[in-house]
């Protein structure tokens, strides 16, 4: 069950922009841009830095996730490759995508889900890149970003069209046939029933959904029925935008990767506009 309110336990110091956050075996992995060693590894009890991992030939990052079964990290470079880092020795391999991959998640069956926003599609892969399934998304889902598969086989998809600011900004429950079953949101806005650029989601074991509501500078909690529950985190200070989420189910911690906006055109950024700094906020939920 969700606690009464989100409590900030820790905020990592500012550094290079953060494009992914995930955890395995009490270690937190943070993917940063503009660093020779792209992944910083922290202990989740002390939050102390343990090591740094270099991922060569990684240019335009968009997301990172972890698989406990195969004990590896997956990284999307936002261009045409998925990078796989086998742990603990961090052997790096990669495979080429057809289309530009957006965000990533791992299923209960230990397969990798990759969302393709421009293709309006979800693809499912084996741990070494073998294509298992393709699902075309329907019913006004334009430019899907992040997808998580539930144990029922249905998907939770957040979407918005970065090129059309008046397009639908929603989180949807989608069937295995690509049809929308129910949704939250609509036209962009800042009300309790609205979203503006929902970029990432996380789901707990009871079906509650956390949503990174990017341009509203907040993280929302939705019920399993896709109704508004409350804000888990909101920012009064300008520019800090929540972009990626990771939920540690056992420790009841939500890791929120957030970046500042800026004019640094050389930064790796798949969302439009430069990003100049990033950090991770740890919230007890």
- At residue 3, does pLDDT exceed 60? no
pTM for the structure as a whole: 0.91
pLDDT band at 171 (very low <50, low <70, confident <90, very high): very high
218-259 confidence digits (pLDDT tens):
999 999 999 999 999 886 666 789 999 999 999 999 999 999
Question: Could you tell me the fold of the domain covering 7-284?
Answer: Neuraminidase (2.120.10)
In order, the DSSP letters of 94-160 are EEE-SS----EEE-TTS-EEEEETTTTEEEEE-TTS-EEEEEE--TT--SEEEEEE-TTS-EEEEE-
Q: How far is CA 51 from CA 10, 39, 212, 256, in A?
A: 19, 8, 28, 21
Average pLDDT over the chain reads 89
More confident residue, 162 or 77: 77
Is-contact 165 122, C-beta < 8 A? no
When pLDDT is averaged across residues 31-60 and rounded to a whole number, the result is 87
How far apart CA 131 and CA 122 sit, in angstroms, is 11
What is the tens place of the pLDDT at every residue in 103-119? 999 999 999 999 998 89
- As a whole number of angstroms, the distance between CA 137 and CA 144 comes to 8
CA max distance for the chain: 47
Q: What digits encode the pLDDT tens for the residues 59-70?
A: 788 899 999 999
How far apart CA 81 and CA 98 sit, in angstroms, is: 9
Categorize the per-residue pLDDT at 42 as very low, low, confident or very high, splitting at 50, 70 and 90: very high
């Amino acid at each position: 069950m969700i606690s009464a309110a989100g409590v900030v336990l820790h905020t990592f110091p500012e550094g290079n922009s953060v494009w992914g956050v995930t955890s395995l075996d009490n270690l937190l992995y943070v993917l940063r841009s503009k660093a020779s060693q792209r992944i910083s590894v922290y202990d989740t009890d002390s939050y102390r830095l343990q090591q740094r991992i270099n991922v060569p030939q990684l240019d335009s990052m968009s997301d990172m996730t972890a698989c406990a079964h195969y004990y590896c990290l997956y990284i999307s470079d936002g261009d045409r490759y998925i990078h796989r880092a086998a742990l603990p020795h961090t052997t790096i391999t990669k495979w080429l995508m057809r289309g530009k991959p957006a965000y990533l998640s791992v299923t209960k069956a230990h397969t990798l889900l990759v969302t393709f926003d421009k293709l309006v599609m979800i693809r499912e892969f084996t741990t070494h890149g073998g294509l298992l399934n393709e699902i075309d998304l329907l019913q006004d889902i334009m430019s899907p970003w992040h997808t998580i598969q539930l144990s029922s086989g249905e998907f939770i998809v957040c979407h918005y069209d970065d090129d059309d600011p008046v397009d639908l900004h929603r989180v949807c429950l989608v069937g295995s046939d690509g049809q929308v079953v129910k949704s939250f949101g609509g036209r962009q806005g800042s009300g309790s029933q609205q979203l503006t650029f929902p970029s990432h989601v996380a789901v707990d074991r009871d079906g509650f959904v956390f949503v990174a509501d990017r341009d509203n500078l907040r993280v929302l909690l939705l019920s399993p029925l896709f109704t508004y529950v409350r804000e888990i985190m909101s920012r009064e200070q300008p520019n800090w935008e929540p972009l990626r989420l990771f939920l540690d189910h056992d420790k009841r911690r939500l890791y929120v990767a957030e970046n500042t906006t800026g004019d640094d055109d050389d930064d790796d950024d798949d969302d439009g506009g430069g990003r100049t700094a990033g950090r991770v906020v740890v919230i007890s939920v």
